[in-house]
A and B are shown apart, each in its own frame.
Chain A
Amino acid sequence: MKKRGKGIACMFYPIGFTSYPNPGSAFVKVNQDGTAVVFTGATDMGQGSTTVLAQIAAEELGIRYEHITMVTGDTEKTPFDLGSVASRVTYIVGNAVKRAAHEAKRILLEVAAEKLGVSPDGLCAGDGRIYIKGLPERFLEISEVARIAQMGKGRPPIGSGSFNPITTFLDPETGHGKPYGAYVFATQIAEVEVDTETGVVEVLRIAAAHDCGKAINPMLVEGQVEGGISMGVGYGLFEEMVLDNGVVKNPQFTDYILPTSLDMPEIRVGIIERPEPTGPFGAKGIGEPSLLPTAPAIINAIYDAVGVRIRELPATPEKILKALRETDQGKA
C-alpha cells in the first residue's frame, strides 16, 4: 500500500562569519568606452556568483550588466579571496565589489560635477549616464566622463574595495559573542509517498520559502534552492559513506548514491526579501541554507505518512520497512 504524508522543517543559518577575519576584495576600472572590468578572487563553481557580482558592479556604476567584464578566480591577477564557501560570496565579496565600484564612480562623479556645475553629491549614475538628481535630461555619458577623467584630468576612474565583517573573537570562557554578520531563514514542506511493503519513498513535491535579504538574481536564487533540495533529497534518502574497519566500501558514484533527475520532486520556490542593512543592496546568502530543511522535512513527512521516526540518515527503504515492522509488532 502507498501512503502519503507531509512534513515541515524550518531553519536559520549564519552568513559571513566574524570569529576570524573574513575579508573579500575587488578592483574595478571603468574604461573609456563606458564599460568596466571587475577583478576578484571569488570563484564561480556554477552557482552564478560571477553573474551576481557583475550585477552588483553594474548597479553601483550605473552601467549595463552586459558592459561588465569579470576577471575572477585567478589570485595571481586578482585580489585574494578566502573562497566560495560558507555561503559568503554575495554578502562578503558582493560588498567588496560594491565598495570598489563606488570608489571608481566617485571619481566619475567628481569629474562630471565640474562639467555640469553641481556638487558630486547632487549627481547620480544610471543607464550609462551621469545626471543631475531630479534632472535626468542634464547628463553626461559615462564613456565621455571616463575619457575626460583619464585623459583630461589625469584621474583614472578605478577603485578598490574590501569588506570584512568586524572580527569579534568569541569569549573563550563562554563561547558568547557575535559570530556572524547576518542570518537567513527558511521553511520547506515536503510531500512524500511511502510504499508500506517495500519501504520505498518517493518525494512528490517540495515547497521552499527562503529569505535571502534581497534576491539580486531571482533565477539564480531559485537554481540554488533547487540544487540544494537535490542535495537534501540525497542526504535524506540516499547518501551514505559505508565504512568497514576504516575502509570506505563505496568510494565511487556507482555505490555512493546521489539522486538523479528522476528522483527529484516537483519544486516550488518562494523568495522572501527582507533587506539586510549590512548586505550589498540588502543581499545575504543562499547557498548552503537551501539544503538544510530538506531532509528533516522529508523525515517528518515519512512520519506523517506511516508513523515511523527515522533517526539515522539516510532513510533507506530497508530502514523504513524495519521500523514499520517494529511498529506493527508493538501494536500487536
Chain B
Amino acid sequence: MLPRTLYIRPSDLTKALEALEEHGPGARVIAGGTDLIPSMRARTQLPSCLVDIQGLGLDTITRTDGFVRIGAACTFSELARSGIIREMFPVLREAASAIGAVQTRNLATIGGNLSSAVPSCDSAPALYVLKARLTLISLRQQRAIPVEEFFQGPRRTVLAPAEILAWIDVPVPPDRSGSAFLKIGRRKALTLAIVNAAASVCLAKDGSTVEDATISLGAVAPTPLRARKAEALLKGCTWSEELVKEAAWVASGETSPISDIRASADYRRELCKVLVRRALTHAWKRALGGDQR
C-alpha cells in the first residue's frame, strides 16, 4: 500500500518552488511517478510531501534559435511522437522509445528519468551525445549545466533541496552530423538496460574526416559516462571500420561495470564494444545523410 503523504499540485513554477522550500528536505518533486511511486510502495523512498510539477507548463517541446527546449515534464510518448524530435534528434527518439513500455512512456517524463539518476537511465546517453544543457531552478537561483555534470552517483544528482530540473536545452546539431542510440536489455520492452549506448559523428566537409565524435554509455559505471578517450581517438581521423572498432575497444576500457542479476561485468564490457561500434556506424550513416531511420 502507498504510504499516506501530503500531495500538492501548484499552478505555477514559483508556487511549486515555494512549496518545496516550505516543506523542507522531505519534500519531493513528482511528475509521472513511474519511479517514485513504486519506490514509495517498497518503502525505499518516503517523502513527507509530493509537489506535482505536471501543471506548470513544463511539458512542451519548442524550437528556438539554435536549440530546442524540452520541458522536464514532457513524457517519453510525447518525445517519441514529436515531429521536431524525429526530424532533428533521432537519437533522442530512439532512447525515448526504448524506455519501459507504452504505458510507462505515457506517464514517465524526461526530467524524472534524469532526476532518478539510475545508472541505466536511457535518456542520458542520448542527451550526452547531443550536448544538452539542463536548467535547474530554485527560489534563489537559476543555473544551466551540461547534462554530464548533473549526475553524482547512483540515485544522486547535483539538485539541491528545493531545486527543480525545469527544462533541457538541446543544441541544433551541425551539418554533416548524425547520432544514434542502442540498448540491450533482457527482453524487448519493460526492461532496464544491461548496456545502453549513444554516439554522434560530425564529418568535415570532405565527408570522410571525423570533425567531432561523442560516445556515451549507460549501466556500466555509477553514472552514465562519456568515453572521452575513444572520442579523442576518432577526432581528426579518416573514417574507417578499423578505426571505429578500435574506438569501441577503447570506449569499453573506459567503463567500470559491475556484475549483477542482469549480467556479468565481462558481458557488459563485450556489449560496450559491439554497441559503440554499431552506434558510431549508424551515426556516421546518418551524418552522410544516407539513413535517417
Contacts and interface: CB of A to CB of B under 8 A. Distances in A.
Contact of B188 (A249, A260, A318, A321): A260
Nearest to A318: B267
Contacts of A317: 184, 267
A250 B261 CA distance: 8
B267 A257 contact: no
Interface in B261-283: 261-264, 267, 270-271, 274
A242 interface: yes
B261 A318 contact: no
B186 interface: yes
A246 B184 CA distance: 29
Nearest to B101: A260
A254 B267 CA distance: 20
A198 B274 CA distance: 7
Interface in B150-194: 184, 186-192
A238 B194 CA distance: 14
Contact of A259 (B101, B187, B274): B187
A273 interface: no
A321 B187 contact: no
Interface string B185-222: 01111111000000000000000000000000000000
Contacts of B264: 318
Given A259-B187, A262-B187, A262-B189, 19 more contacts: A197-B274, A198-B184, A198-B270, A198-B274, A200-B184, A238-B187, A242-B261, A249-B261, A255-B261, A257-B191, A260-B187, A260-B188, A260-B189, A262-B188, A263-B187, A316-B186, A317-B184, A318-B264, A321-B267
Interface of A: 197-198, 200, 238, 242, 249-250, 254-255, 257, 259-263, 316-318, 321
A263 B188 contact: yes
B262 to A, nearest CB: 8
Counting from the closest, the 6 A-B pairs by CB-CB distance are A262-B188, A318-B267, A197-B274, A260-B189, A262-B189, A257-B186
Contacts of B187: 238, 257, 259-260, 262-263
A259 B101 CA distance: 13
Contacts of A200: 184
A51 to B, nearest CB: 29
Contacts of A257: 186-187, 191
A200 B193 CA distance: 13
A238 B186 contact: yes
A316 B263 CA distance: 9
Contacts of A259: 187
Given A197-B274, A260-B189, A318 B184 contact: no
Contacts of B274: 197-198
B99 to A, nearest CB: 13
11 contacts: A197-B274, A198-B274, A200-B184, A242-B261, A250-B261, A255-B261, A260-B190, A263-B187, A316-B186, A317-B184, A318-B267
Nearest to A249: B261
A259 B191 CA distance: 11
A326 to B, nearest CB: 14
A74 B228 CA distance: 66
Nearest to B186: A257
Nearest to B188: A262
Contacts of A242: 261
A242 B260 CA distance: 11
B261 A198 contact: no
Contact of A198 (B101, B189, B190, B271): B271
Nearest to A319: B267
Nearest to A316: B186
A229 to B, nearest CB: 15
Residue from B187, B188, B262, B263 with most neighbouring chain A CB atoms (10 Å): B187
A242 B189 CA distance: 21
B192 to A, nearest CB: 8
Residue from A255, A259, A318 with most neighbouring chain B CB atoms (10 Å): A318
A37 B196 CA distance: 58
A260 B188 CA distance: 7
Contacts of B189: 260-263
A321 B261 contact: no
A142 B6 CA distance: 65
Contacts of B263: 318
B185 to A, nearest CB: 9
B244 to A, nearest CB: 14
Contacts of B186: 238, 257, 316
A250 B101 CA distance: 20
Residue from B186, B191, B270, B274 with most neighbouring chain A CB atoms (10 Å): B186
Nearest to A237: B187
A188 to B, nearest CB: 20
Contacts of A255: 261-262
B233 to A, nearest CB: 21
A255 B191 CA distance: 9
A255 B267 CA distance: 18
A198 B191 CA distance: 17
A263 B189 CA distance: 8
A209 to B, nearest CB: 27
Residue from A200, A250, A321 with most neighbouring chain B CB atoms (10 Å): A200
A249 B274 CA distance: 29
A131 to B, nearest CB: 55
Contacts of A262: 187-189
Contacts of B190: 260
A161 to B, nearest CB: 45
Nearest to A240: B261
A263 B187 CA distance: 7
Interface in B68-96: none
A261 B188 CA distance: 9
